[in-house]
A = this chain, B = another copy of it.
Amino acid sequence: MPTSPKKAAADDGVTRPAKPRAIRMRDVAAVAGVDISVVSRVLSGDERLVVRPETRERVLEAVTRLNYRPNIAARALKTARTMAIGMVVPDLANTAYTEIARGADERAAELGYTLLVASGRMQERLPTLEGRIDGLLYAVATSDSTAPHRLPEQIPSLLVNRREPGLGASIIANDEEGVALATQHLIDLGHTHIGLIVADFSVDTHRRRAAGYRRAMRAAGLPDASESILETAFDEAGGYEATLELLRREPRPTALFVARGPTVPWTLGALAACDELGVSVPDDLSLIVLSDVPIADYLRPAVTSLELPLATLGSRAIDQLLRLIDGEAVADAMVDEPPRLMVRETTAAPPGRR
C-alpha cells in the first residue's frame, strides 16, 4: 500500500506542509443537506432570518465536523469589508505605542475586529496595509514622523495621541492635566525651581504638556520661565544630555519632570546624568518621569511617574475609528480617564526645606 509521497515527513524536525483542499461553504452545505445560502445566513447570525432550529442545528454541526473556516478574501471581496483595523506606529520598541496598541487590540477584538500592527513610516506602511484594513490608527508623537502631512486618502483614519489641524480627526489623552498634576505635586513639596523636558513644540502633545506646567506654576504664583522648559529635538536617547543641560542652568532646578519618551532610555539617561554630576535623587533633585511600563518600580530609588491612560486611549481610538468607518462625522476627542501620578521615591522636599 503505497503512501502518498506528500505525507512522507514524520516529525523529525522536517516539516512539509500538507496542502489539503480547504473546506468551502458548499461542502458544509452538502453535508448539512441545505443550500449554501442557508449556511451563509446561519453563520452570519442574520437575526431576521427564519430557519428551522433543526436545520440550523445541522448546519452548525456540519461546520464543526468539517472544521470549516470562512474564506476571508472571498468575504472581503463581496462585502468590501475586511473586519481588520490597521495601526501604524513609528517604533515597536517605544512602550508608549505598544501600550496604546494593547488597548486598541483589546477593544477591537471585543467588537469582532482584528488589529494589525505595523511599524515604520506611514509612507511605506500604508501601501502594504491598504486593502487589508477598513480603517487606520496612526500614533505619531515625534515631529520627524510627522511626514504624513498628507492624510491617508481613501481610508478612514484617526490620529492617536496628537492633534493636528489638517490631519483629520484625532484622539488624545489629557496631557495638560497630567503635567499640571505632576507639577503641582512638586510645588506642594516646596519646589520653586522646576525643570521640564518635553519634545519638539511642533507637536501639539508637547505644547499641551508645557501648558499644563505653566498653568500649575502660575497658579502657585511661581515663575514659569521659559528657560526652565527644555524643548528637545533629538528623538533617540537624549535623556542624558538634556538632563545635563538643564542641571547646568542657573539657578539649578531642584526638581525635574521628564515629560517625553521613549520613556525607558530617557528615564535612565536622566538618572545617569544625575549620577554623573553627583546629584543625588531625591536629596538634591526630585524626579518625575512619564511612564507606561512598570520600569519605574524596578529602579532604586523607585521613580515617581505620571501615568497617562494609554490603553484607554487605544480603546477609545477604536471606537472613534469605527464611527468614522460607518460614515459618521467624528470630531477630535479626549479620553475622559484622568492621568494618575504614582508617587514613589524620587520626589521629596527640596534641599533647603528640610
Taking a contact as CB atoms under 8 Å apart, the answer to whether A14 and B329 are in contact is yes
Residues of B within 8 A of A22 (CB): 154
Encode contact with B along A51-95: 1 for CB under 8 Å, 0 otherwise. Answer: 000000000000000000111111011000010100000001101
Q: Closest CB of chain B to A22's CB: distance in Å?
A: 7
Stretch of A26-34, A35-43, A190-198, A292-300 at the chain-chain interface: A292-300
Supposing A20-B154, A272-B298, A298-B265 touch, asked if A117 and B117 sit within 8 A by C-beta, the answer is: yes
CB nearest to A6 among chain B residues: B327
For the complex, what is the distance from the CA of A70 to the CA of B294, rounded to whole Å? 44
Which A109-128 residues have a C-beta within 8 angstroms of B? 109, 114-120, 124, 127-128
Taking a contact as CB atoms under 8 Å apart, the answer to whether B84 and A77 are in contact is no
Q: Closest CB of chain B to A266's CB: distance in Å?
A: 9
Copies of this chain present in the complex amount to: 2
Taking a contact as CB atoms under 8 Å apart, the answer to whether A237 and B294 are in contact is yes
Q: Closest CB of chain B to A43's CB: distance in Å?
A: 14
Asked if A268 lies at the interface with its beta carbon under 8 angstroms from chain B, I say yes
Taking a contact as CB atoms under 8 Å apart, the answer to whether B73 and A82 are in contact is yes
Asked if A239 lies at the interface with its beta carbon under 8 angstroms from chain B, I say yes
Taking a contact as CB atoms under 8 Å apart, the answer to whether A327 and B76 are in contact is no
Taking a contact as CB atoms under 8 Å apart, the answer to whether B11 and A131 are in contact is no
Stretch of A162-170, A176-184, A213-221, A248-256 at the chain-chain interface: A162-170
CB nearest to A113 among chain B residues: B128
Supposing A11-B165, A324-B15 touch, asked if A70 and B131 sit within 8 A by C-beta, the answer is: yes
Taking a contact as CB atoms under 8 Å apart, the answer to whether A13 and B169 are in contact is yes
Taking a contact as CB atoms under 8 Å apart, the answer to whether B82 and A92 are in contact is no
Taking a contact as CB atoms under 8 Å apart, the answer to whether B116 and A118 are in contact is yes
For the complex, what is the distance from the CA of A170 to the CA of B77, rounded to whole Å? 34
Asked if A275 lies at the interface with its beta carbon under 8 angstroms from chain B, I say yes
Contacts A14-B331, A69-B131, A115-B118 aside, 7 further interface pairs with beta carbons under 8 A come to A13-B165, A72-B132, A73-B76, A92-B101, A93-B293, A102-B119, A109-B128
Q: Hey, which bits of chain A sit against chain B, CB under 8 A?
A: 9, 11, 13-17, 19-20, 22, 69-74, 76-77, 82, 84, 92-93, 95, 98-99, 101-102, 105, 109, 114-120, 124, 127-132, 154, 156, 163, 165-166, 168-170, 237, 239-240, 264-265, 268-269, 271-272, 275-276, 293-295, 297-300, 324-325, 327-332
CB-CB nearest 10 A-B residue pairs:
A72-B131, A268-B298, A73-B76, A92-B98, A114-B128, A13-B332, A15-B169, A73-B77, A15-B168, A275-B300
